[in-house]
């Protein structure tokens, strides 16, 4: 773990403060607000400690707090906003005087943070797992549900997240890189996605059939093939970044 950076280079604190301000004033939505980013950072710290990883903590912290920030306008579901935040933060890091390696590590970690994207740094493996793990947070789903009920989040947006999360359930566990995240996700999967709480939300959006389908015990051949493919990718990525 690199803890010397702040002594040698510029401080990351002003940029963390800026991310927090942006996330408070103009978050994508209630699923991607400041609380989500704080939870992701907490998950990162837990993973690094449990797995005793040698990562650049400043770079990881910046990536955790900026990964779902939008730098202009309002958010529509797309992959474009990741490019926007990467361009913006890259300029900022150069301006403040961070070295090229640090900037590249941070930006590429953000660029490839999404589920099943190809990780390019060890920090990316940590961020991907930390981010996915917050998809297994009852607190986060309850918050989004309350926001929808009080008219602060659109039904179609929440329905999209519910549908996507349900569709991912049969193979998402296979995508976790670390023992600790697999263990926690496994426990929470039964509690959240296989329980009454999520069934209620799914029913509200006419997704009961999907909920029942993913909760069947046996995997279809297609899903099993996907799980196998993800397991192979995971082994390859672990070997690349953890040996
Ligand atoms: Fe994201
Ligand atoms: Fe996220």
pLDDT, tens digit, for every residue of 27-60? 999 999 999 999 999 999 999 999 999 999 999 9
SS (H, E, C) 33-85: CHHHHHHHHHHHHHHHHHHCCCCEHHHHHHHHHHCCCCCCCCCCCCCHHHHHH
pLDDT computed for residue 74 by the predictor = 66
How many angstroms separate the alpha carbon of residue 79 from the centre of ligand 1? Answer: 9
pLDDT computed for residue 22 by the predictor = 96
Sign of the Cα torsion 128, 184, 55, 8 reads positive
Long-range contacts from 35-41, C-beta under 8 angstroms, 24+ separation = 35/140, 35/143, 36/68, 36/134, 36/140, 37/64, 37/65, 37/67, 37/68, 37/69, 39/134, 39/137, 39/140, 40/64, 40/67, 40/127, 40/130, 40/131, 40/134, 41/65, 41/130
How many angstroms separate the alpha carbon of residue 17 from the centre of ligand 1? Answer: 19
pLDDT computed for residue 77 by the predictor = 61
Judged by its nearest atom, the ligand closest to the C-alpha of residue 31 is 2
Judged by its nearest atom, the ligand closest to the C-alpha of residue 110 is 1
How many angstroms separate the alpha carbon of residue 68 from the centre of ligand 1? Answer: 5
Judged by its nearest atom, the ligand closest to the C-alpha of residue 79 is 1
How many angstroms separate the alpha carbon of residue 131 from the centre of ligand 1? Answer: 8
How many angstroms separate the alpha carbon of residue 131 from the centre of ligand 2? Answer: 5
pLDDT computed for residue 215 by the predictor = 82
pLDDT computed for residue 75 by the predictor = 65
How many angstroms separate the alpha carbon of residue 189 from the centre of ligand 2? Answer: 18
Judged by its nearest atom, the ligand closest to the C-alpha of residue 37 is 2
Low-confidence stretches of the chain (pLDDT < 70) are: 1-8, 74-79, 217
CA atoms within 13 A on the CB side of 181: 29
pLDDT, tens digit, for every residue of 51-84? 999 999 999 999 999 999 999 776 666 667 789 9
Question: Looking at the domain 5-242, which fold is it?
Answer: Hypothetical protein af1432 (1.10.3210)
- CA 3 to CA 153: how far, in whole Å? 39
Residue 209: count of CB within 10 angstroms of its CB: 9
The pTM is what?
A: 0.94
How many angstroms separate the alpha carbon of residue 36 from the centre of ligand 2? Answer: 7
pLDDT computed for residue 76 by the predictor = 66
Spans of all domains in the chain: 5-242
């Amino acid at each position: 773990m690199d803890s010397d950076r702040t002594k040698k280079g510029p401080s990351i604190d002003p940029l963390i403060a800026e991310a927090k301000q942006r996330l408070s004033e103009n978050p994508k939505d209630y699923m991607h607000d400041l609380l989500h980013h704080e939870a992701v950072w907490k998950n990162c710290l837990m993973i690094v400690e449990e797995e005793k990883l040698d990562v650049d903590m400043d770079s990881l912290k910046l990536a955790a707090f900026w990964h779902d920030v939008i730098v202009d306008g309002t958010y529509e579901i797309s992959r474009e906003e990741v490019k926007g935040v990467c361009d913006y933060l890259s300029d900022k890091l150069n301006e403040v005087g961070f070295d090229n390696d640090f900037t590249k590590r941070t930006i590429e970690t953000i660029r490839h943070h999404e589920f099943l994207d190809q990780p390019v740094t060890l920090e990316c493996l940590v961020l991907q797992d930390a981010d996915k793990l917050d998809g297994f947070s009852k607190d986060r789903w309850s918050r989004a549900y309350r926001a929808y009920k009080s008219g602060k989040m659109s039904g179609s947006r929440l329905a999209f997240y519910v549908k996507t999360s349900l569709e991912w359930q049969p193979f998402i566990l296979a995508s976790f890189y670390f023992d600790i995240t697999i263990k926690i996700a496994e426990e929470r999967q039964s509690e959240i996605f296989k329980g009454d709480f999520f069934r209620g939300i799914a029913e509200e959006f006419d997704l009961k059939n999907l909920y029942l389908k993913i909760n069947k015990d046996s995997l279809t051949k297609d899903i099993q093939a996907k799980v196998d493919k993800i397991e192979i990718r995971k082994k390859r990525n672990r070997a690349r970044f953890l040996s």
